[in-house]
């Protein structure tokens, strides 16, 4: 089966859970209209299912290939990328002045779900370009903006982010790549970077590397990091790619998944460029030694986009498993529970009829749908900040985006792995055979909880940086909003809503109590307690928020009871985790410390 884009579900979520309907009505969505929204989603869905999805399996099997400094993309991928960018999909949320379409971020992440659902290995590439656009827009000189932004917004050139070095993964303070000032305002870059996604390929005429490096007189640690733009080919003033820069791919990784996405080791400045002397020519982005601030600009949206990768794969895995479970016949209803010796006189039933299979599918659907809501709402907070009328409003939404970012990165990526794994399980033996495609989704999904800040780092960020924002007012305002949805469910005088509201209130109580405890520990400087339980807290937070969003969808749905049933199912079989999580969280770090001696 090819990928079935969940267009109706996406549109419903955008309009009624995220609130794009209200944004459109109140003039916060630019030129977006009802019809345009529907048309864009339909066309993106068509492109994803008809153009991208058919190349996903081949891209995985063939993979990106490396030879002599060059990376060759799988068969058909260069034409695919060209068709994709020529259709205008690259600059969806980019500013109009550089050729973008200035559409809401929430819409652009929804559409990115489609690319990643069709092929995560394809969907990743443009994410990096988008990061480069954001960094240049916020921090680049006019010269750099004029020369690079139009090409990057159109997708004619792609961007990369060069952070990681062998000794500097999650901790950037030990970066060694160095930059030397030249007389002409440019810099020369020397060093090695690893795990550079789309660091080299043949999709575009040029590649624009953003590289973190250290100046000779820079302070130690992260206060001494600067950001440089290093193009693969040095363009002339008209933007025509010229001499080959001294920035080469040294090798690509043989990975568990996303085989068509080249993960490169990049070497800067070993003297192979055409510019005469050693050193990759680079231009400073922002100020010297302020590189980390530039990176932070990109970080929220980069993390959100990784969340979208997990979401896209999860949705694809769910759709695939659902189709299989409807088609595959095995056993009569309840056969396995009855007398096995009974003759198989009746017809076999589709496996979706078996309660355990239905349970797995519902779990997948609840996880995917709640993850989608969290991720889109994070994108929406970025939109709201952009359209803020006052600094106070801007701050409110900036902090909301900050708060939701670790949840929007970690929850959908954990869900991606869990749901893809359930998808394999539903396929049975077929799921373990690569030909079926279910296993590829699991292999692809597994990177997302790791890169762009591991999910453990997201949890630390959530607890130690986001909870204390504005003296905890940001998180409290969010919790109040969630409670308001639960209140509305309580007041809705219909079967199902009452019990659902009760469960939501209970989970919100668990979330509030643990939030208070964590804030208290932070105030008391009991960092060890906070860090020890950050991950279970992050899950408690996401499960609760996600289930509230399912309830919000049910409240908005006039068409029937399916959304209510899903919200109730989640409350009864996933939100049941919150009491145990609360218990674990409130213990803090004591038992963790005590148990360390068991690690042998």
Q: Which of 28-36, 133-141, 146-154, 432-440 is the region at the interface with its own copies (rule: CB under 8 A)?
A: 432-440
Q: Which of 42, 79, 83, 256 binds its own copies (CB under 8 A)?
A: 256
Interface positions, 158-217, toward its own copies (CB under 8 A): 164, 169-171, 173-174, 194-195
Structure tokens, 503: 């469960």
d(CA 317, CA 439): 9
Which of the stretches 180-188, 243-251, 377-385, 592-600 binds its own copies when contact is defined by CB under 8 A?
A: 592-600
**CB of 60 or CB of 246, closer to its own copies:** 60
Residues 473-492 that bind its own copies (CB under 8 A): none
Written in H, E and C, the secondary structure of 295-311 is: HHHHHHHHHHHHHHHHH
Q: Between 438-445 and 291-327, two packed helices, what is the crossing angle to 10 degrees?
A: 160
Letters for 361-400 (x = contact with its own copies by CB under 8 A, - = none) are: xx--x-----------------------------------
Contact segment (CB under 8 A) with its own copies among 36-44, 89-97, 227-235, 567-575 equals 567-575
Closest approach, Cβ 104 to its own copies, in A, equals 26
d(CA 89, CA 86): 8
Residue 568 sits in the site that holds its own copies (CB under 8 A):
yes
Q: Does 223 bind its own copies (CB under 8 A)?
A: yes
C-alpha distances out from residue 395 to 316, 360, 382, 470, Å: 36, 41, 11, 10
The piece of 121-129, 199-207, 243-251, 350-358 that touches its own copies (CB under 8 A) is 350-358
Q: Which is nearer to its own copies, 153 or 447 (CB)?
A: 447
Q: Name residues whose C-beta falls within 8 Å of residue 467's C-beta, 6 or more positions apart in sequence.
A: 475, 515, 518, 519, 522
Alpha helix (H) ranges present in 87-141? 105-118, 120-139
In this complex, which beta carbon is closest to its own copies, that of residue 107 or of residue 417?
417
Of the candidate spans 232-240, 276-284, 305-313, 330-338, the one that interacts with its own copies by CB under 8 A turns out to be 330-338
Q: For every residue of 180-220, which 3-state class applies, written as one string?
A: EECCCCCEEEEEEEEEEECCCCCCCCCEEEEEEEECCCCCC
Cβ-based nearer residue to its own copies, 33 or 167:
167
Site residues (CB under 8 A) for its own copies, limited to 275-294: 292
Question: Could you tell me the smallest distance in angstroms from the CB atom of residue 583 to its own copies?
Answer: 5
The catalytic residue among 452, 487, 584, 590 is 452
Region of residue 279 (left: phi > 0; alpha: psi -120 to 50; beta: else): left
Nearer to its own copies, 473 or 576 (CB): 576
Q: Is 483 exposed, middle or buried (0-12, 13-18, 19+ CB in 10 A)?
A: middle
Among 236, 327, 356, 481, the residue binding its own copies under the rule CB under 8 A is 356
Is 391 among the residues known to form the active site?
no
Residue whose C-alpha is closest to residue 143's, from 101, 94, 185: 185
Nearer to its own copies (CB atom), residue 54 or residue 456? 456
Handedness of CA 513, 516, 522, 526 (dihedral sign): negative
At 107, list the tokens. 């819409």
Q: Is 322 in the site for its own copies (CB under 8 A)?
A: yes
Tokens, residue 531: 């860090």
Candidates 2, 106, 245, 578; binder of its own copies (CB under 8 A) is 578
- Distance of closest approach, residue 6 Cβ to its own copies, in angstroms: 9
For its own copies, which is the closer residue by CB, 221 or 239?
221
Q: Give yes or no for a contact between 218 and 401, defined as CB atoms under 8 angstroms apart.
A: no
Burial classification of residue 166, based on how many CB atoms lie within 10 Å of its CB (0-12 exposed, 13-18 middle, 19 or more buried): exposed
**φ, ψ of residue 437 in degrees (nearest 5):** 95, -15
Angstrom CA distances, 178 to 27, 162, 188, 215, 529, stand at 47, 13, 8, 6, 38
Among 31, 274, 277, 342, binds its own copies (CB under 8 A): 342
Decide if 207 contacts 196 (C-beta within 8 A).
Answer: no
CA 592, distance to chain mean position in Å, is 30
Rule CB under 8 A: choose which of 76, 331, 468, 509 binds its own copies: 331
Q: Choose between 207 and 441: whose C-beta lies nearer to its own copies.
A: 441
Question: What is residue 214's DSSP assignment?
Answer: B
Q: CB of 258: closest distance to its own copies in angstroms?
A: 9
- Select from 209, 213, 212, 262 the least CA-distant residue to 231: 209
Residue 600 is a binding residue for its own copies (CB under 8 A):
yes
Q: Which is nearer to its own copies, 153 or 467 (CB)?
A: 467
Confirm or reject binding of residue 83 to its own copies (CB under 8 A): no
Residue 174 CB, nearest approach to its own copies (Å)? 6
Residues β-bridged to residue 191: 268
Host H or E run for residue 395: helix 391-427
Least spacing, CB of residue 288 vs its own copies, in Å: 15
Report how far residue 405's alpha carbon sits from residue 504's, in angstroms, rounded to the nearest whole number: 22
Judged by CB under 8 A, which stretch of 229-237, 372-380, 381-389, 423-431 contacts its own copies? 423-431
* Count of residues near its own copies by CB under 8 A: 109
Within 498-527, which residues bind its own copies (CB under 8 A)?
A: 527
Which residues are marked as active site? 452
């Amino acid at each position: 089966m090819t990928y079935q884009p969940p267009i109706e579900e996406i549109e419903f979520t955008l309009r009624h859970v995220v609130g794009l309907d209200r944004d459109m009505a109140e003039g916060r969505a630019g030129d977006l209209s009802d019809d345009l929204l529907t048309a864009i989603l339909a066309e993106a869905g068509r492109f994803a299912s008809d153009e991208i999805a058919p190349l996903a399996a081949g891209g995985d099997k063939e993979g990106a290939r490396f030879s002599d400094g060059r990376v060759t993309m799988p068969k058909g991928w260069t034409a695919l990328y060209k068709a994709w960018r020529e259709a205008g999909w690259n600059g969806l949320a980019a500013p109009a002045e550089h050729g973008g379409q200035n559409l809401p971020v929430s819409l652009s992440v929804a559409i990115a779900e489609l690319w990643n659902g069709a092929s995560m290995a394809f969907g990743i590439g443009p994410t990096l370009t988008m990061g480069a656009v954001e960094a240049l827009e916020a921090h680049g000189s006019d010269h750099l903006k004029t020369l690079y932004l139009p090409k990057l917004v159109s997708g004619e050139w792609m961007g990369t982010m060069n952070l990681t070095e062998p000794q500097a993964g999650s901790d950037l303070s030990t970066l060694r790549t160095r930059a030397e000032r030249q007389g002409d305002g440019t810099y020369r870059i020397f060093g090695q970077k690893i795990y550079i996604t789309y660091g080299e390929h043949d999709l575009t005429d040029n590649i624009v590397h953003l590289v973190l490096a250290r100046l000779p007189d820079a302070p130690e640690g992260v206060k001494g990091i600067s950001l440089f733009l290093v193009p693969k080919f040095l363009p002339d003033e008209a933007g025509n790619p010229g001499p080959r820069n001294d920035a080469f791919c040294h090798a690509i990784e043989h990975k568990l998944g996303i085989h068509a996405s080249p993960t490169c080791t990049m070497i800067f400045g070993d003297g192979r460029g055409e510019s005469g002397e050693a050193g990759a020519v680079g231009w400073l982005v922002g100020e010297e030694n302020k590189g980390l601030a530039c990176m932070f600009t990109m970080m929220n949206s980069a993390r959100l986009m990784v969340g979208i990768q997990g979401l896209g794969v999860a949705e694809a895995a769910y759709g695939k498993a659902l189709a299989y479970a409807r088609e595959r016949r095995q056993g009569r209803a309840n056969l396995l529970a009855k007398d096995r010796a009974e003759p198989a006189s009746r017809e076999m039933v589709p496996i979706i009829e078996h309660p355990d299979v239905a349970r797995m599918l519902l779990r997948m659907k609840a996880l995917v749908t709640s993850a989608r809501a969290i991720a889109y709402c994070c994108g929406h907070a970025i939109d709201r900040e952009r359209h803020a009328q006052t600094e106070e409003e801007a701050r409110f939404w900036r902090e909301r985006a900050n708060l939701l970012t670790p949840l929007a990165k970690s929850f959908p990526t954990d869900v991606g792995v869990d749901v893809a794994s359930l998808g394999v399980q539903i396929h049975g033996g077929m799921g373990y055979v690569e030909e079926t495609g279910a296993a590829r989704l699991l292999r692809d999904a597994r990177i997302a909880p790791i890169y762009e800040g591991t999910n453990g780092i997201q949890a630390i960020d959530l607890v130690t940086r986001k909870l204390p924002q504005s003296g905890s007012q940001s998180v409290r305002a969010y919790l109040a909003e969630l409670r308001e949805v639960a209140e509305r469910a309580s007041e809705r005088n219909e079967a199902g809503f009452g019990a659902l509201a009760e469960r939501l209130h209970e989970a919100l109580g668990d979330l509030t109590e643990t939030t208070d405890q964590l804030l208290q520990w932070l105030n008391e400087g009991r960092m060890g307690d906070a860090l020890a339980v950050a991950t279970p807290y992050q899950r408690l937070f996401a499960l609760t928020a996600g289930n509230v969003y399912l309830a919000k969808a049910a409240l908005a749905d006039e068409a029937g009871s399916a959304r209510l049933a899903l919200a109730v199912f989640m409350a009864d079989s996933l939100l049941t985790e919150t009491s145990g999580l609360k218990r674990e969280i409130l213990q803090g770090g004591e038992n963790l410390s005590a148990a360390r001696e068991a690690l042998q």
